[in-house]
Amino acid sequence: NLALYPVELRTHKIFLMQNMKKIINFIVSEEDHKKRVDIILGDKLKDISRSKIKKFIETGNLLINNNKILEPSKKARYFDKINFTIPEENKFSLKPYDYKLDIIFEDEDLIVLNKKSGISIHPGPGNYDNTIVNALMNYNGKKLSNVGEEFRPGIVHRLDKNTSGLILVAKNNYAHNHLADQFKKHSVERVYNAIIWGKIRPINGKIDTLIKRSSNNRQLMEVGITKGKRAITNYKTIEIFEGDNAPSLSLIECKLETGRTHQIRVHLNYKGNSILGDKQYKKKYKRIDNTKSDIAKLIKDIDRQLLHAKSISFFHPSNNKRLEFTSNLPSDFDKLLKKLRNM
C-alpha cells in the first residue's frame, strides 16, 4: 500500500514510497534534543535493526537540514529536519555451501569453529553464497540462533576474511544472547598471534585509543582523536627476528579487552608495526627485492595478514562452566615462523 500519510512534520513520521525506497521525514522533538541520530531512528523504526540503520547512514541515506550526514553518532538538535531513506535491499535466500567446517567442539548450545583464512564469515556484497554462514546452513541450518541479522544466523562475533582462527557459533537464541552478553561485558577472553614488521615499542604494552570509521574510505577504520569507540589491545612480544637475510620482524601476542572492527590491525598500524601481509592497513617498509634468501620469497608470497585467533575462553551458556579452546597456527604462518627461527 503506497498510501501517503498526512504531512505533520513536527509530531508525525511521513512514509513515502519513491523509486522503491521508503523515505522518512520528521522534525526532531525537544525530547530528542542532543540524542544520537541512530538512536532516534532506532526508536522510531522498530522493525529495522540498529546495525542496518547505521549501515544506511554510513552509505549516505541520511540528511539533516538537507546536509548529508555519514556519522551514526551525530547528535541531533531540537527542530532539526530529518530525511532518512531506507533503500530496498536485495532479496535473496541463504544457499547451503558444501564446505568442510573445522569443528573443534559442538554441543546442543554452540559450535567452536577453526576458520581458515580466505573465507568470509557471512554473506555480503560480492559474495552471497560461499561463506561460513552458508556452510553452516549446509551443516545444520535448522539449528542456529536467529536473534541477530537475517543473514547471520548463529554468528555471535566475526573474524575478517583473511584472518584465521577460532569463532563461536550459537545454535539457539538463549545461547546467542548469553554469549553476546559476555562479549559486551568483556568476559570472553580472546588471544591472537601476529607477525609484524619491525620491533614494537615498548616491547610489551597496552594500546588504548578511540577507533572510528575512516573519513577517506568507509570500508576501513582508523584511530580517532575525539570521535569513535574506545578500543583496548594488550600485546606482548614473543620473539624478534633480525638478520642479514631478512627484514626485522616480530612475533607478538595480542589480547583484546574490546572487539572493534579491525581493532588489532588498526592498532598495530597506528603503532607503526603493521601486520605482515596486510594490504589494507600498512606502512611503507624497506623493499626486500635484493634480499637473497628463501625467507624473502616466503614474505613476498604472503597473500593475507598473518593474524590468527589462537585461543578463546568463555562461560558455557547452560552450565556456566569456563571453557577454553586453542588452535594451532595455520601452515602459511607456521612455515614462515620456522624459517625465521632457523635463519
pLDDT tens string 117-132: 999 999 988 888 999 9
pLDDT at 290: 54
Coil/strand/helix, residue 45: coil
pLDDT at 292: 54
Low-confidence residues of the chain, pLDDT below 70? 1-21, 89-92, 245, 283-292
pLDDT at 47: 76
pLDDT at 268: 97
Coil/strand/helix, residue 254: strand
Question: Do residues 339 and 321 lie in contact, with contact meaning Cβ atoms separated by under 8 Å?
Answer: no
pLDDT at 286: 53
pLDDT at 270: 96
CA dihedral 220, 223, 226, 232 (to 10 degrees): 120
For residue 200, which of 265, 254, 250 has the smallest C-alpha distance? 250
- For residues 99 and 112, give the distance between their C-alpha atoms in angstroms, rounded to a whole number: 16
Q: Count Cβ atoms below 10 Å from residue 177 Cβ, excluding itself.
A: 16
pLDDT at 104: 97
For residue 337, which of 328, 167, 271 has the smallest C-alpha distance? 328
pLDDT at 282: 84
Judge whether 160 counts as a catalytic residue.
Answer: yes
What is the value of pTM for the model shown? Answer: 0.77
Interior angle at CA 70, CA 78 and CA 181, nearest 5: 90
- For residues 37 and 57, give the distance between their C-alpha atoms in angstroms, rounded to a whole number: 9
pLDDT at 284: 60
- For residues 142 and 153, give the distance between their C-alpha atoms in angstroms, rounded to a whole number: 10
Among residues 160, 244, 289, 294, the one annotated as catalytic is 160
pLDDT at 1: 37
Q: Count Cβ atoms below 10 Å from residue 68 Cβ, excluding itself.
A: 11
Question: Is the alpha carbon torsion for 23, 26, 32, 37 positive or negative?
Answer: positive
pLDDT at 18: 43
Question: Do residues 23 and 77 lie in contact, with contact meaning Cβ atoms separated by under 8 Å?
Answer: no
C-alpha cell read off for 42: 532506532
Long-range contacts of 334-340 (CB under 8 A, 24+ apart): 335/298, 336/195, 336/276, 336/295, 336/298, 336/299, 336/302, 336/306, 337/195, 337/251, 339/294, 339/295, 339/298, 340/239, 340/241, 340/246, 340/249, 340/251, 340/295
Give the pairing type, strands 204-213 and 189-197. Answer: unpaired
